[in-house]
């Protein structure tokens, strides 16, 4: 990993901003570096994938299958997270994830993360707080998407 | 008649030189004066009143290069009868032009700093003159960051230029669409999601934002969360402009007339009015 230790890599990832060194160390112990080739399905909608990813490079598309077509609803890139629902451990994936280019990421087993949260509530609080931020950002972005802000209206300047 | 009065009240006859289709509903008109005097120079962010003979007059932002004022460029979305007639013009046709009107993006105040442009939809049009200006005076500015969001890939304006600008030195151009099909391999998500891909130096950045008002509100929140001061954030407001000189009152927003005191305001000025319910 470009001569960087997992801990160094994690320290630089925006998701872990503000994490205590011992929490980053704990994450590093659970991390596994993974790579996906272009156009690879990382997980499918509804699939019981238990992995949570921190993206290091490349781009991932989140897609929903509709009859006769696939809608691409969001893309995620370096510094972002993928598969947050696996940390909750309930139900299958909400979207299909596809790599649009070669993707490097750190993968974490959701079950192990949950176990670590239960064993160390201080770590659990830090992780859940970050996850909640991610979910809140995504919810906000989804609401803005639903507003269809750029739809044509009459009588506009510009 | 003073120069100001002449620009605001008298109309210049302008000949349409070119009409370029940008998207399925948006076109760019290039015009030049058909009168002995050329069209007056403009500052980035200003607008003109374009008169379609027999149809009516419309406020349209100038989207061309301020370094080439003799040919003025307007990007127009066809949303009603008047705009449809305007974009249906053919080269050689005559229209009327009054202006330029309104305040401009303070490009001089941004010298020595990073220029951050955040545009949504057709909001890129009034910001394109800023991009031309920065690229023409490249040594006066540090980085040029352009974040642009549109509804879908087919709604993206100036696609060829976006790619060109992205190749310029110290320039980062990030484009996103709200919804993408499988053939779109770029970013998908609202324009605010692009902020995670840029590193801002808040005290060294001036931001210019144009797009739907709701979008601008959320962009401002992102910028404030990243440490930008309200006086370093500029927005272009959109109201129902008619006269262009603050007489008719159609575009009043709080104590301001958008056509005369705007359309470009600092967020410091607009802050109390943007959050006022039903204003």
Which domains does chain B carry?
A: 3-101 (2.40.30.10), 114-236 (3.40.50.80)
Q: Residue B110: its pLDDT value, please? A: 94
- Shortest distance between the Cα of B176 and any Cα of chain A, in A, equals 9
Quote the CA–CA distance of A57 and A79 in Å, as a whole number: 8
B123 in A contact zone (CB under 8 Å): yes
Quote the CA–CA distance of B82 and B30 in Å, as a whole number: 17
Q: Which of residues 234-253 of B touch A (CB under 8 A)?
A: 236, 238-241
| B49, B97 Cβ separation under 8 angstroms | yes
Quote the CA–CA distance of A142 and A74 in Å, as a whole number: 9
Q: Residue B5: its pLDDT value, please? A: 56
A82-136 pLDDT per residue, tens: 999 889 887 788 889 999 999 999 999 999 999 999 999 999 999 999 999 999 9
Q: Residue B148: its pLDDT value, please? A: 97
DSSP state of A24: H
Quote the CA–CA distance of B244 and B241 in Å, as a whole number: 6
A156 in B contact zone (CB under 8 Å): yes
B162, with CB counted inside 10 A (0-12, 13-18, 19+), is middle
How many CB atoms are located within 10 Å of the residue B147 CB?
A: 26
Q: Residue B250: its pLDDT value, please? A: 77
> Quick one: pLDDT band at residue A155, thresholds 50, 70, 90?
very low
**Residue B117's closest CA among B178, B188, B194, B23?**
B194
Closest residue in chain A to residue B59, using alpha carbons only: A157
CA B47 from centroid of its chain's CA atoms: 9
Q: Residue B7: its pLDDT value, please? A: 56
> Quick one: pLDDT band at residue A154, thresholds 50, 70, 90?
very low
- Structure tokens belonging to residue B149: 């969001």
Under an 8 A CB cutoff, do B215 and A144 touch? yes
Vertex A83: Cα angle to A78 and A87 (nearest 5): 125
Quote the CA–CA distance of A53 and A34 in Å, as a whole number: 9
**Residue B254's closest CA among B226, B233, B227, B273?**
B273
Residue whose tokens read 């009168």: B35
Of the candidates B215, B218, B238, the beta carbon closest to that of A158 is on B238
**A149 cis-preceded (ω within 30 degrees of 0):** no
A74 in B contact zone (CB under 8 Å): yes
Q: Please, what is the angle between helix A110-119 and helix A121-147, to 10°?
A: 130
Mean pLDDT of chain A: 89
DSSP state of B254: T
A38 in B contact zone (CB under 8 Å): no
Of the candidates B186, B188, B240, the beta carbon closest to that of A74 is on B188
Q: Which residues of A touch B186 (CB under 8 A)?
A: 75
- Structure tokens belonging to residue B152: 């879908």
Q: Residue B45: its pLDDT value, please? A: 94
- Structure tokens belonging to residue B203: 């005290």
Under an 8 A CB cutoff, do B59 and A157 touch? yes
Q: Residue A27: its pLDDT value, please? A: 96
Three-state secondary-structure class, residue B197: helix
> Quick one: pLDDT band at residue A157, thresholds 50, 70, 90?
very low
Quote the CA–CA distance of B93 and B46 in Å, as a whole number: 24
Q: What is the CA radius of gyration of chain A?
A: 17
The stretches in chain B having pLDDT less than 70 are: 1-8, 243, 275-279
Q: Which residues of B touch A72 (CB under 8 A)?
A: 179-182, 184, 188
Q: What is the CA radius of gyration of chain B?
A: 18
DSSP state of B41: P
Site from B81, B100, B154, B189 to mutate, A interface, most A CB atoms within 10 angstroms: B189
Closest residue in chain A to residue B123, using alpha carbons only: A158
Of the candidates B185, B189, B240, the beta carbon closest to that of A74 is on B189
Residue whose tokens read 């979910």: A135
Q: What residue segments make up the domains of chain A, in order of their start?
A: 6-133
Quote the CA–CA distance of B259 and B236 in Å, as a whole number: 11
A134 in B contact zone (CB under 8 Å): no
Quote the CA–CA distance of B177 and A97 in Å, as a whole number: 18
| B14, B32 Cβ separation under 8 angstroms | yes
Q: Residue B254: its pLDDT value, please? A: 79
| B222, B192 Cβ separation under 8 angstroms | yes
A45-63 pLDDT per residue, tens: 888 878 999 999 999 999 9
**B263 cis-preceded (ω within 30 degrees of 0):** yes
| B44, B107 Cβ separation under 8 angstroms | yes
- Shortest distance between the Cα of A118 and any Cα of chain B, in A, equals 30
What CATH topology corresponds to A6-133?
A: Jelly Rolls (2.60.120)
Q: Which residues of A touch B120 (CB under 8 A)?
A: 149-150
């Amino acid at each position: 990993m470009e001569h960087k230790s997992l801990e160094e890599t994690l320290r630089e990832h925006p998701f872990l901003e503000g994490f205590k060194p011992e929490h980053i160390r704990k994450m590093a112990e659970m991390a596994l570096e993974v790579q996906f080739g272009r156009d690879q399905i990382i997980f499918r909608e509804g699939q019981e994938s238990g992995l949570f990813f921190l993206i290091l490079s490349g781009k991932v598309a989140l897609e929903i299958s509709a009859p006769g077509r696939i809608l691409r609803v969001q893309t995620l890139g370096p510094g972002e997270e993928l598969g947050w629902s696996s940390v909750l451990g309930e139900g299958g994936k909400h979207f299909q994830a596809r790599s649009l280019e070669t993707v490097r990421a750190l993968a974490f087993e959701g079950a192990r993360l949950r176990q670590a949260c239960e064993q160390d509530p201080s770590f659990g609080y830090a992780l859940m707080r970050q996850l909640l931020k991610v979910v809140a950002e995504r919810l906000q972005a989804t609401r803005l998407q639903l507003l269809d802000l750029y739809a044509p209206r009459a009588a506009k300047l510009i | 008649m003073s120069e100001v009065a002449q620009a605001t009240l008298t109309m210049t006859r302008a000949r349409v030189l070119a009409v370029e289709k940008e998207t399925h509903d948006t076109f760019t008109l290039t015009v030049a004066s058909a009168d002995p005097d050329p069209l007056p120079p403009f500052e980035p962010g200003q607008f003109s009143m374009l008169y379609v003979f027999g149809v009516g007059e419309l406020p349209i932002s100038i989207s061309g290069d301020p370094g080439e004022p003799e040919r003025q460029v307007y990007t127009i979305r066809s949303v009603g009868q008047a705009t449809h007639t305007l974009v249906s013009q053919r080269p050689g046709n005559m229209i009327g032009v009054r202006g330029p009107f309104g305040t401009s993006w303070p490009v001089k105040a941004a010298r020595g700093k990073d220029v951050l442009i955040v545009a949504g939809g057709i909001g890129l049009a009034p910001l394109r003159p800023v991009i031309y200006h920065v690229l023409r005076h490249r040594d006066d500015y540090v980085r040029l960051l352009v974040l642009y969001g549109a509804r879908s890939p087919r709604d993206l304006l100036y696609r060829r230029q976006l790619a060109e600008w992205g190749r310029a030195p110290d320039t980062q151009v990030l484009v996103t669409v709200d919804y993408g099909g499988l053939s779109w391999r770029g970013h998908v998500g609202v324009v605010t999601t692009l902020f995670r891909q840029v590193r801002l130096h808040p005290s060294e950045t001036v931001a210019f934002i144009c797009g739907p008002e709701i979008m601008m509100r959320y962009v401002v929140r992102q910028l404030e969360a990243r440490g930008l001061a309200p006086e370093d954030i500029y927005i272009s407001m959109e109201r129902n402009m008619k006269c262009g000189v603050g007489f008719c009152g159609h575009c009043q927003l709080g104590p301001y007339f958008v056509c005369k005191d705007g359309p470009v305001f600092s967020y410091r000025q607009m802050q109390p009015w943007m959050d006022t319910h039903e204003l």
